Amino acid sequence: MPGGSGFWAERVLITAASAAICPAGLDPVQAGALPVAGLTAYQSLEALGLSRGQRLLITNGGGATGVLALQIAAARGIEVTVTASASAAERLRGLGALEVVDYHDSDWAGRVRGGFDGALIAAGGTAQAALSLVRDGGRLVSLTSDAPTGERGITSTDLYVRPDAAQLAHLAEAVVEGKLKQNVEALPLSEGPAAFAQVSAGQAGGKKLVLVLT
């Protein structure tokens, strides 16, 4: 509702199950970047159900969600291969990727050893190629609403993030402890339209953009 100063004051109501207390030591910008990308990464790995020693393919492994999924999976002892730009390869290997494949290569799927136990699709248009690399009876989870029809006993599903306070608290602690790294850029609220255009065009460079009041 409008206040006396001429500004609009808004209230946002959420349930306790949808929020977690920000732990001491967690920067507000890092906290603001975490919920959607973090919960999506965490829940997609839960859906895939992989265990230590199994192999995972992540498309767009350098994106805000993909890079978190990479770190969580690697910490669990899962062998992770990601598609990303060549310029991001060194950083992603440092975060736990066993192999980084340049997605600019039109035959990237032909340069990857197949037989993955699971595939996480975070780049539109890559689901069908990724499916061909999953072993019989494996699993594919798409974050881009384009999960192909399963074949060879493969379970193929789309995933949509849901609020979960306990999972969010766990992720926040991991960031504070340095076990989970985010690539975040803070921008003034006035740059919101430009930030939206940048993200919509896929030009965020793997960064999570957070708007802040200045």
Q: pLDDT per position in the chain (214 positions), as tens?
A: 344 444 445 666 777 777 888 888 888 889 888 999 999 999 999 999 999 999 999 999 999 999 999 999 999 999 999 999 999 999 999 999 999 999 999 999 999 999 999 999 999 999 999 999 999 999 999 999 999 999 999 999 999 999 999 999 999 999 999 999 988 888 888 878 877 787 777 767 777 878 887 7
Tokens linked to 72: 């969580």
This prediction has a pTM of 0.88
Query: Domains in the chain, ordered, with CATH?
Result: 24-181 (3.40.50.720), 183-214 (no CATH)
Q: Is the four-CA dihedral 126, 65, 72, 169 of positive or negative sign?
A: negative
Which three-class secondary structure state does DSSP give residue 195?
Answer: helix
183 vs 161: CA distance, rounded Å:
20
Q: Could you report how far apart the first and last alpha carbons of the chain are, in Å?
A: 22
Closest to 97 (Cα-Cα) out of 73, 63, 129, 65: 73
Burial profile 119-147: b = 16 or more Cβ within 10 angstroms, e = fewer:
bbbbbeebbebbbebbbeebbbbbbbeeb
Query: Whole-angstrom Cα distance, residue 10 to residue 98?
Result: 46
